[in-house]
Amino acid sequence: MATRLPETDVVMLGVGLVGSIVGRELTRAGLEVVGLERGEPRYTVPDFQGPAMHDELRYSIRTSLMMDTAKETYTFRNNAEQTALPIRRIQGFLPGMGLGGSAVHWNGQTWRFHDSDLRMRTLATERYGKDFLGPEYTFQDWDVSYSELEPYYDRFEYLLGIAGKAGNLRGRKVPGGNVLEEPRARDYPTRPMKEPYGSAMFRKAAEGLGYHPFPAPSANMSEPYTNPEGVTLNTCMFCGYCERYGCEHFAKSSPQTVVLPVLLKDPKFKLRTHCQVQRIDLDSSGRTATGVTYVDAQGREFEQPAKLVVVGLFALNNVRMMLLSKIGAPYDPSSGNGVVGRNYTYQTTSGVQVFYDESVNINPFMRSGACGTVIADFVADNFDHAKLGFLGGAYIGEVLTHGRPIEFHPTPPGTPSWGSAWKKAVVRHYNHTTVVNVHGSSIATRYNYLDLDPTYKDAWGQPLMRMTFDFPENDLKMSAYVTERAAEIAKAMGGKQTAGGPRRRPYTVTQYQSTHNTGGTIMGAERSTSALNRYCQSWDVPNVFVIGASNFPQNASYNPTDTVGALAYWAADAIVNKYVKSPGPLVS
Amino acid sequence: MAKDDASAPTNLSRRRLFQAAGAAGVAAALPAGTAQAQQRASATAYVFFNPAESAFIEAAVARLIPKDETGPGALEAGVPNYIDKQLGGAWGAGERLYRSGPWQQGVPSQGYQLPFTPSELFRTAIRAINEKTKFSKLPQKEQDAFLDSLQKGREDLGGVPSNVFFESLLQVTIEGFFSDPAYGGNRDMLAWKMIGFPGAYADFYEYVDKHNVAYTAPPTSLAQDARGWIHVHVVRKGS
């Protein structure tokens, strides 16, 4: 029997990036917020300090900061003909666990999407015609345009102190910045990071081929920065332990380093850790949430009543929470009906290695998670797709994030995987190799989706979520085209040899590609094709808001975090200035 | 190509010495501790492996990452000790491994789908191998051919497909070679020195934009004290 707790204004599911920002905005507006976090409380001091943090085995290989897959995981299959099996050891993508969520162990690559991503159906139809892609592709508009989101991107980037160089200031092109980006109201809050050697060679090669290289926007600090919350970040030391690690230097923007120090002092915010939310509770009409039921570390069940429920879990878990709570119709791929679980998308990545002479010291260990040089010439709709037969694109860049040797020990093609020949190749190439990354979009199809697994359960007896995914034909074509461009740049970078190729099927969960799982609780203009309206509010239960990369109707060329942060501010603004004044559906 | 060696702590990197010198030169370039390391490679006190198992593991890792002209191999680095401690510890017992059934074999893209924990997997597979061959007594060429057959084959090793076992063995061997010496392999950081990886060291702000710098400072371990001694949790008396 659950213990019923006193009612709060808002219960926040997950205290990661979204929970910290929305918690701050709602408490600032005077609301009482309870934040429920499944993992542990953890802080820069003492939890992320060196030298213990610089342990590749513990953090990269044994994934200590990630979801504990002994207790909960996902099941996976490439298509509906297969039986989904549990991902018994998480490798292909890395959901975080604990205070700060995945924004503790992220790299810090912070990108704005294009209007052609947000209004993809409308703009692609205008430019390429209605039937450019087949009917199996279910990409659609977000019902939010870039110009509407711009002030929220701006706010998020100034919270984080992003290091970068604007290339488009209110329509004025600025050489050296990303001249192909959407217009921004003002420049980045901090100057770009230093350019490592490999990035400099990429810049030269890309310029020589007529492209427009610029420094990647980074949440690793180029200089000290005090954000509008009054929290100060330090300069990044390029230690090479960023993704999969917490930052010991207060130099990577994360909830702990940009907003939690303020939020956790606010008496209106109550953090509860080790709380596993089982479901959002609904009243008998099924149209109003009454709060949530969670289980604490001792297995005690609690009911936390709330006037408003905000879901800010890892993207896949947002979808699962909606399915477990029976909010919104589950998506059915055979009919195409239903909305929750619809348009699950991912990220289409590839890479080209450049092997140099021993006279070239790449020093891969002198890096940060987001420093590097990039081109956007093949991003989104920055290039004409009419003759290419696909939509979407990718950025190409030298964004080597580390040189940790269990994960990074490149060898040229044809090298055996063990023995003396392998060892000699590792010693020969370790410090003399870089990688040109291709980070590409993922289009929605009718066949890639999320639902509850019929067989496997978590440690609390709840069904795991089932992922059904393989790379769509459109994205394989995109990857082939853009990876070929990347290979041309790589060949011009002065190495002895290059190696790499496009993404191929099948998608496999045993090899890390990206943590960017997107879609499943998508936003949109129509309740028949989206789970949420443009304010991230459930169409079915208006006092439930869901915020995260699960809101993306399809995934863009760029990394998702900037857009997740912008949506957090966008939704919080709608809650404070629209919903609280007049609770009910914000879109009828 | 711009050179900026003058900005590095010393002018000649240890890595370059490795590359320039032959095997004798390598030994000369290593800190004094490494010569001891090579001698005591098999003097590890195993807490998980029985003698038949450790004989196989020591022989196998010596072929996966052999001692050669580039320097010491996995055996000299103490990788069997690393594997022993991993299999005897939380990871070997299935830490972070989802272990609920039903069990069925899917397609490779679905990943590991056996009911074995890592310690069960190693124990089961090595028992089956030791029943069919005296691996540690074979000539190197035959050892390599046998390892190759494990990697490429699907032979049933007491319930473990041989390729699954091989991939696990290779993975932990690479882990033990390149992980911090605190975990019992990579003795005296010899694998890091071989490739020029600085280990746990944390500050390259002044170097990152000095392009093509030959970074030569010695690596740093998590388990290093102020005198530079590396404290590893298993120390056998007299070693």
Name every chain B residue with its beta carbon within 8 A of the beta carbon of A423: 65-66, 68, 70, 73
Residue B216 lies in a domain: no
Which range, of A232-241, A361-370, B37-46, B225-234, averages the lowest pLDDT?
B37-46
Average pLDDT, chain A: 98
Residue (of A94, A142, A530) closest to A316 by Cα position: A94
Type of residue found at A11: V
> pLDDT averaged over consecutive 10-residue blocks of chain A (588 residues)?
96 98 98 98 96 97 97 98 97 97 98 98 98 97 98 98 98 98 98 98 98 98 98 98 97 98 98 98 98 98 98 98 98 97 98 98 98 98 98 98 98 98 98 98 98 98 98 98 98 98 97 97 98 98 98 98 98 98 97
Residue A586 lies in a domain: no
Question: Rounded to whole angstroms, how far apart are CA atoms A162 and B147?
Answer: 50
The range of the structural domain enclosing residue B126 comes to: 13-94+113-195
Q: What is the mean pLDDT of residues B126-154?
A: 97
CA A143 to chain CA mean position, Å:
20
A439 backbone φψ class: left, alpha, beta (φ>0; ψ -120 to 50): beta
| Biggest CA-to-CA distance, chain B | 62
- CATH number of the domain residue A538 falls in: 3.50.50.60
| pLDDT of B233 | 52
| pLDDT of B4 | 40
A456–B109 C-beta distance less than 8 A: no
A78–B195 C-beta distance less than 8 A: no
- Tell me how crowded residue B148 is: count the other CB atoms within 10 A of its CB: 15
Partner residue opposite B214 with nearest CB, options A91, A361, A455: A361
Angle at alpha carbon of residue A58, lines to A52 and A60, rounded to 5°: 110
Residue A584 lies in a domain: no
Residue B81 lies in a domain: yes
Reading the block at residue B36, the tokens are 């001891």
The range of the structural domain enclosing residue A328 comes to: 3-579
Residue B150 lies in a domain: yes
Q: Classify burial at A460, counting beta carbons within 10 Å of its beta carbon; exposed 0-12, middle 13-18, buried 19 or more.
A: middle
Residue A587 lies in a domain: no
Residue B187 lies in a domain: yes
Reading the block at residue B139, the tokens are 């000539």
Find where tokens 């993704």 sit. Answer: A243
B213–A361 C-beta distance less than 8 A: yes
User: What is the domain count for chain A?
Assistant: 1
How close A248 gets to chain B, by Cα (Å)? 10
Cβ of residue B225 closer than 8 Å to a chain A Cβ: no
Residue (of A512, A501, A459) closest to A476 by Cα position: A501
B104–A83 C-beta distance less than 8 A: yes
Question: Rounded to whole angstroms, how far apart are CA atoms A246 and A328?
Answer: 36
| Position B43 confidence tier, pLDDT thresholds 50, 70, 90 | low
Average pLDDT, chain B: 84
Catalytic residue list contains A212: no
Q: What is the mean pLDDT of residues B223-235?
A: 75
User: What is the domain count for chain B?
Assistant: 1
Please determine, for residue B10, whether its predicted confidence score (pLDDT) is greater than 70: no
CA neighbours closer than 13 Å in the CB half-sphere of residue A338: 20
Question: Rounded to whole angstroms, how far apart are CA atoms A127 and A129?
Answer: 6
Name every chain A residue with its beta carbon within 8 A of the beta carbon of B70: 423-424, 427
Residue A51 lies in a domain: yes
Whole-model pTM? 0.94
Render A391-415 in DSSP notation, one character per residue: ---EEEEE------TTT-----TT-
ipTM for the whole complex: 0.97
User: What residues contact A289, with CB distance under 8 A and at least 6 apart?
Assistant: A280, A281, A282, A283, A306, A308, A309, A325, A327, A541, A543, A544
| pLDDT of B32 | 42
